[in-house]
Chains A and B, each alone.
Chain A
Amino acid sequence: GAVVSQHPSRVICKSGTSVKIECRSLDFQATTMFWYRQFPKQSLMLMATSNEGSKATYEQGVEKDKFLINHASLTLSTLTVTSAHPEDSSFYICSAKMGGGNQPQHFGDGTRLSIL
């Protein structure tokens, strides 16, 4: 149980393109979803937290107009990288959890984004 599906797994596109990444909880309702970014040989850094039906909370230094997050239902959150540039190339991973503090987060398989 507790499967999180992330799609696509890899994207290669030209600079200036907008890219949408989907994160779905397949067998549970996710009250909260998180988006993380991981640069090569570094650990995961939280970008934003989203709760279903409300605006995402962004971490300091993350541009909300650049990284649009929509959490329209209890099983789906999307991250759109708008007008992507080479410096946005990274590994993006989502996670989802149901309930509060003590509940574990379940992770997607990540999306490798490469901007040419």
Chain B
Amino acid sequence: KQEVTQIPAALSVPEGENLVLNCSFTDSAIYNLQWFRQDPGKGLTSLLLIQSSQREQTSGRLNASLDKSSGRSTLYIAASQPGDSATYLCAVPTLTGANNLFFGTGTRLTVIP
């Protein structure tokens, strides 16, 4: 069974810093990997989706990389802002059945003004 782990569990940085969030998964046979943002008490906002054939995806200040063979992905946030404070989740779909998502444990990010 796929297991998804995120390190660190929590991170506090001063505004303006660049930062990296890590995601690892045990089964490298994946279709894609997705990064989400979740604000407290809210649903999920999809940030980036990387297909298994891709190495990275960029959207604004966000850059996500994928190394399928080693079972790792990183989310790089440049020039962090207080509005980036949220929990960041990575997720991978199962290859069988309905392709539901396995979610990581999340990284709670706090950007200090």
Point out residues on A near B: beta carbons under 8 Å. 6, 32, 34, 42-46, 49, 51, 57, 91, 93, 95, 97, 100-110, 112
Contact = CB atoms under 8 A, between A and B. Distances in A.
Interface residues of B, number: 23
Contacts, number: 58
Given A44-B103, A46-B100, A46-B101, A101 B95 contact: yes
Nearest to A43: B103
B32 interface: yes
Contacts of B103: 43-45
B43 interface: yes
Interface string B77-113: 0000000000001000101011111011110000000
A65 to B, nearest CB: 21
Given A101-B93, A112-B41, A32 B98 contact: yes
16 contacts: A34-B101, A42-B105, A43-B103, A43-B104, A43-B106, A44-B44, A91-B41, A93-B43, A95-B101, A101-B95, A105-B34, A107-B43, A107-B44, A108-B43, A109-B43, A112-B41
Nearest to B106: A43
A43 B100 CA distance: 14
Contacts of B44: 44, 93, 107
A106 B43 CA distance: 11
Given A104-B49, A109-B42, A110-B42, A44 B98 contact: no
